[in-house]
Amino acid sequence: MKYENPQIPEGINVSQDHPLKNFLILLIGSIVLIVTLSIVLGVSGGWLAGKIPFSAENKIAAMYNVNEDVDDENVPELMIYLQDLTDQISKAQNLTDDMKITVHYINSDTVNAFATLGGHVFLFRGLLEKLPNENTLTMLLAHEIAHVKYRHPIKSLGSGILVGIAISTVTGSTNSDILGSAGLLSSLKFGRDMEQQSDEEAMMTLHAMYGHLNGGAELFNIFHTMRKAMDVDELSEIFSTHPHDENRIENFSRIAKNKGWQQTGSLTPLPDFFQQALKSEMSVLEED
């Protein structure tokens, strides 16, 4: 038997491809995988979360002490008025008996409001100060209550949790605070479709309660004025998922025309104690 010992060519175990090429392939593949998982799990997570009974959502919300972050007790007369109006809106939207909406007040210059788990709606003094009448206040509350009606908070939370788990799995992250980072009792981010749905529900509520839509579009005008006065960073944080103000105003007029709803009519003034309570709260904040 004849044995041979051929010389092995140099570089036989070295890839002919540049290392950066392989790196880019892996990087792009990982990004595509994460994006695909995020979309699929985001949609499915929101759908599944929407099937959770509202009673179960209340139990999740009860894990957090809402009263630590609000100033309800400082303005009792204002809270009675806001809760009474909230109850009227809930009735107009045909909310089920178990879907109780609780309104809260926060003494802050922030011009914002949001709805979260368990039917909790938070209103900031900075926004309440800018409301010219009860009709505009009703539009605001009706929009936030509509988020609860259509289960947007729990859907947003469900999507956020599943997406967080997917990203942690792909990236190897050991972050165990996925539930907390999803923002249980903070301003959850709602998609533009959710915002559109809440706008339309708020319009129907406004018309049902007052017989016209006057004062409703003023809410979007307030945000539009605010948008012009804010810098880019603030805008991206608060309005990143909201439809553009001009589009919301145009859509408001389009829906009103299609439904045959009047956009003019008498406006209901806010009670005298409304602005007085807000001014008193602002003075307290300045003293602190």
DSSP string, 177-241: -HHHHT-TTS-----HHHHHHHHHHHHHHHHHHHSS-TTTTHHHHHHHHHHHHS-HHHHHHHHTT
Average pLDDT, the chain: 79
| Maximum mean pLDDT: which of 10-14, 66-70, 229-233, 267-271 | 267-271
Strand arrangement of the beta sheet that strand 102-106 belongs to: 102-106, 120-124, 113-116
Residue identified by tokens 């894990």 is 63
Tell me the pLDDT tens digit for each residue of 138-197: 999 999 999 999 999 888 886 555 444 444 444 555 444 444 444 445 556 788 889 999
Is beta strand 120-124 parallel, antiparallel or unpaired with respect to 102-106?
A: parallel
- Residue 2 pLDDT > 80: no
Q: Choose among 124, 172, 51: nearest CA to 281.
A: 124
Q: Work out the average pLDDT over 210-234.
A: 83
Q: Choose among 89, 99, 93: nearest CA to 52.
A: 99
Fill in the amino acid letter for 146.
Answer: A
Q: Choose among 144, 276, 133: nearest CA to 199.
A: 144
User: What integer pLDDT is reported at residue 18 of this predicted model?
Assistant: 59
Between 279 and 133, name the one with better pLDDT.
133
Q: What percentage of the chain has pLDDT greater than the value 70?
A: 66
Element (H, E) at 288: none
Q: Work out the average pLDDT over 117-121.
A: 93
Long-range interactions of 120-129: CB distance < 8 A, separation 24+: 120/61, 120/66, 120/185, 121/86, 121/145, 121/148, 122/70, 123/82, 125/278, 125/281, 125/282, 127/222, 128/274, 128/278, 129/275, 129/278, 129/282
Residue identified by tokens 């060519």 is 9
User: What integer pLDDT is reported at residue 56 of this predicted model?
Assistant: 82
